[in-house]
Chain A
Amino acid sequence: MADETDKMPAAEEIAPVIEPGYTYASITDKISAIVLTRPTPLLWYVGFGISFVFVLILLFAVTYLLTEGVGIWGINIPVAWGFAIVNFVWWIGIGHAGTLISAILLLLRQKWRNSINRFAEAMTLFAVMCAGLFPLLHLGRPWYFYWLFPYPSTMDIQPQFRSPLVWDVFAVSTYFTVSLLFWYVGLIPDLATLRDRARQRFPRFAYGMLAMGWRGSAIHWHRYETAYLLLAGLATPLVVSVHTVVSFDFAIGLVPGWHSTIFPPYFVAGAIYSGFAMVLTLAIPLRKVYGLEDFITLRHLKNMGEVMLATGLIVAYGYLMEGFMAWYSGNPYERYLMFSRMHGLYRYMFWALLLFNIVIPQALWFLRVRTSPLALFIIAICVNIGMWLERYVIVVVSLARDFMPSAWGTYSGTIWDYAIFIGTIGLFLALMLVFVRLLPMISIFEMRGLLHDEEGAEAARPPEA
């Protein structure tokens, strides 16, 4: 993606990263107004209402789960992991785009990141929250979750550090902490702006508290830049590490279909893939509803489409390699697994995931598709589904067809599996909506900065153009 800038000339014609005709003030007005002055759109209430219902479903399902046990799910022996782990991996994957956009693109000096990084980061946080629920809930005895942390226990025993699940605990919690800090630090200047523009006392007070006395002095800006850059540097390896560790949950195991060295790279790619898909899924409606087409321009959508295309191809390569290795290794278990993926009870899922993750996204080769919000939206949805199916196939089919034919079994989710899954989706959307309502979903000061650069570019351009 480093060569984006070389492609830019072509891109310039499509759309700038910010439509012309904006002043520093107008940008600030437009964005902060969403939070402070403009009446909340009806769609917001509708969306929030629906997602809140799902949140209630989640609460109910979780309560029931805690009273009865994980037996209310479809899991069994041999398939002892089901929806919980599938959803966990799915959500974590989605949680990748934010930090990637913020950190890596920042380091790569990608201007187009500025208008999407803020809510991408928020999305990351909320996705990781949803993800974090599952490892906890899927425990047989969740009330002992703290045994996974090293602490001076009266039993004088520690976690078993060879287990990837312990690595998960650290990877995910670190990732969440850093993302949170990153997001919050990035918010501070805008919080100050809101503090200053808010009229009623309470918002001013609240934003004020969060702004931590930001006065926008040169020294503040200097500190800010350093801190932000440092955090970006800190976050960058995490983008890779988290999903690598998650992939270890499988790669370390010797289950055919899990025990594979290609998992880390291809999980990371898949994560970014699904992450960007989710960003698009959110960005496209948001820009429409809040009329932010000028800030989140076709240029952004197009670039994200390109990232998806690239990562999608890496994922495709991953699938290919799995298949090839199953054949080439001559390992009977791997071979049989591949066979049953393609022809077994779950073949529909397998072919569906190929369709959603590989075939359909190939449309992104076409500029017309990349620049059509609707097309992008549909593809993004497909990829979201496809990535979920991918995890389902990896987790369930592998377990259902491992070494001892006598112990082969099958799995399907119960209503409680589904309830908790859609519940987390509801939670995610609800949090997202609260965020766009209370905080600037686009980084105001960075857009101002962008405007400054754009003007520079404007001046540089020959008159006849």
Chain B
Amino acid sequence: MAQIFHRSTNTISRVSIFGGVAVLLALLAAVAAINRSSYLTEVRVARAQPVQFSHKHHVSDDGIDCRYCHTSVENSSFAGIPSTKICMNCHTQIWADSPILEPVRASFRTGKSLEWTRVHNLPGFVYFDHSIHVSKGVGCSTCHGRVDQMPLMSRANTLYMEWCLECHRAPERFVRPREQVFNMEWQAPEDQLALGQRLVREYRIQKLTSCSVCHR
């Protein structure tokens, strides 16, 4: 009787068997990659904001300290978003009538708040406290990156749990002297480990990896 399969099918079948395995692995790899791509992590993705606020300008050009606007960063879990009043402290004098700042002035006039889009947004079940990190020598730039070089604000890190754990498992690799916390230019020295271990002892920094430290 007539052959239903051409000889070539042998090869095809062999290829497809091994090909199938390869494809499967490739897929898994792809998923892992996408998970960590900025498409999902929003790393270095600037969000539209009501006002084109430039940290670069305010921090590096004007040399304004983080705490001038983020007032509660040292004593509360929440760093604080400046009230319109704080903006207006300066902008009643400087750029008092620049069109870019109209929304700010409008908010001040009408008493209607500005609506910023959250850039560093943790899931609801994560409880992060700025004050304790700051007081234990975790610098702003360690998590938020070189904000002083960001014309438009964007995430510098994934904020994934694996990223948090990098530091929580080995704080000595990241901590810096308290007085350097708000210093954007601060660079980790070559002997960071030595420094880190010293600071860990000094500041009594624990390796807090229990779930309840962040999840309750």
Contact = CB atoms under 8 A, between A and B. Distances in A.
Question: Does chain A touch chain B in the assembled complex, meaning CB atoms less than 8 Å apart?
Answer: yes
A157 B165 CA distance: 10
Contacts of B98: none
B158 A156 contact: no
A156 B4 contact: no
A213 B162 CA distance: 49
A213 B10 contact: yes
A156 B160 CA distance: 9
A162 interface: no
Contacts of B1: 196
Interface in B67-91: none
B13 A213 contact: yes
B4 A154 contact: no
Given A204-B4, A205-B4, A208-B4, A156 B9 contact: no
A157 B158 CA distance: 16
A154 B162 CA distance: 6
Nearest to A195: B4
Nearest to B1: A196
Contacts, number: 29
A309 B4 CA distance: 49
A155 B161 contact: yes
Nearest to A199: B1
Nearest to B158: A154
B4 A201 contact: yes
A152 B4 contact: no
Given A152-B32, A156-B165, A213 B160 contact: no
A321 interface: no
B35 interface: yes
Interface in A132-153: 151-153
A224 to B, nearest CB: 17
Contacts of B35: 154
Given A204-B4, A208-B4, A213-B5, A155 B13 contact: no
Interface in A204-232: 204-205, 208, 212-213
A154 B5 contact: no
A22 to B, nearest CB: 25
Interface string A192-203: 000110000100
A179 to B, nearest CB: 20
Given A213-B9, A213-B10, A213-B13, A155 B4 contact: no
Contacts of B161: 154-157
B5 to A, nearest CB: 6
B112 interface: no
A154 B36 contact: yes
Contacts of B158: 154
Given A201-B4, A205-B4, A154 B160 contact: yes
Interface of B: 1, 4-5, 9-10, 13, 28, 32, 35-36, 158, 160-162, 165
13 contacts: A151-B28, A153-B162, A154-B35, A155-B160, A156-B161, A156-B162, A196-B1, A201-B4, A205-B4, A208-B4, A212-B13, A213-B5, A213-B9
